[in-house]
Amino acid sequence: MTDASPSLTVRRKRDRQTDDPAVLDEIMAHGAIAHVAMVRDGLPIVLPYLYGVGDLGDGRGRQLLLHGSTGGGLFLDAGEDGVPVSAAITHLDGLVYARSLNDSSANYRSAMIFGRATLVPTEQRLEALWMVGDHLMPGRRAGVREITAKELAATTVLRLPLDRVSVKVRFQGVGEAPDDGEDHGVWAGILPLSMQAGAPITGAVTDAGVPVPADVTALAGTLEARAAERRAALVERLGAAVRPTESTN
Amino acid sequence: MTDASPSLTVRRKRDRQTDDPAVLDEIMAHGAIAHVAMVRDGLPIVLPYLYGVGDLGDGRGRQLLLHGSTGGGLFLDAGEDGVPVSAAITHLDGLVYARSLNDSSANYRSAMIFGRATLVPTEQRLEALWMVGDHLMPGRRAGVREITAKELAATTVLRLPLDRVSVKVRFQGVGEAPDDGEDHGVWAGILPLSMQAGAPITGAVTDAGVPVPADVTALAGTLEARAAERRAALVERLGAAVRPTESTN
Residue A105: pLDDT above 50?
A: yes
Query: Is A191's CB within 8 Å of B220's CB?
Result: yes
pLDDT category at A78 given cuts 50, 70, 90 is confident
**Residues B149-158: pLDDT tens digits?**
999 998 889 9
pLDDT for res B10: 58
Number of Cβ pairs < 8 A linking chain A and chain B = 385
pLDDT category at A4 given cuts 50, 70, 90 is low
Contacts of B229 in chain A (CB under 8 A): none
Query: Is B195's CB within 8 Å of A190's CB?
Result: no
Query: Is A147's CB within 8 Å of B102's CB?
Result: yes
ipTM: 0.93
Q: What is this structure's pTM?
A: 0.93
Among A90-94, B126-130, B194-198, B238-242, the least confident range: B238-242
Residue A127: pLDDT above 70?
A: yes
Query: Is B11's CB within 8 Å of A189's CB?
Result: no
Mean pLDDT for B28-54 is 96
Contacts of A145 in chain B (CB under 8 A): 99-100, 181-183
pLDDT for res B80: 74
**Residues B48-92: pLDDT tens digits?**
999 999 999 999 999 999 987 655 567 667 777 899 999 999 999
Q: What is the mean pLDDT of chain B?
A: 90
pLDDT for res A79: 72
Query: Is B185's CB within 8 Å of A196's CB?
Result: no
Residue B120: pLDDT above 80?
A: yes
> What is the per-residue DSSP string for chain B?
--------S-SS-GGGEE--HHHHHHHHHH-SEEEEEEEETTEEEEEEEEEEEEE-SSSS-EEEEEEEETTSHHHHHHTTT-EEEEEEEEEEEEEEE-SSTTT-EEEEEEEEEEEEEEEPPHHHHHHHHHHHHHHHSTTGGGGSPPPPHHHHHTEEEEEEESSSEEEEEE-------TTSS--TTS--EEEEEEEEE---EEETTSPTTPPPPHHHHHHHHHHHHHHHHHHHHHHHHHGGGEE--GGG-
pLDDT category at A80 given cuts 50, 70, 90 is confident
Q: What is the mean pLDDT of chain A?
A: 90
Contacts of A235 in chain B (CB under 8 A): 201
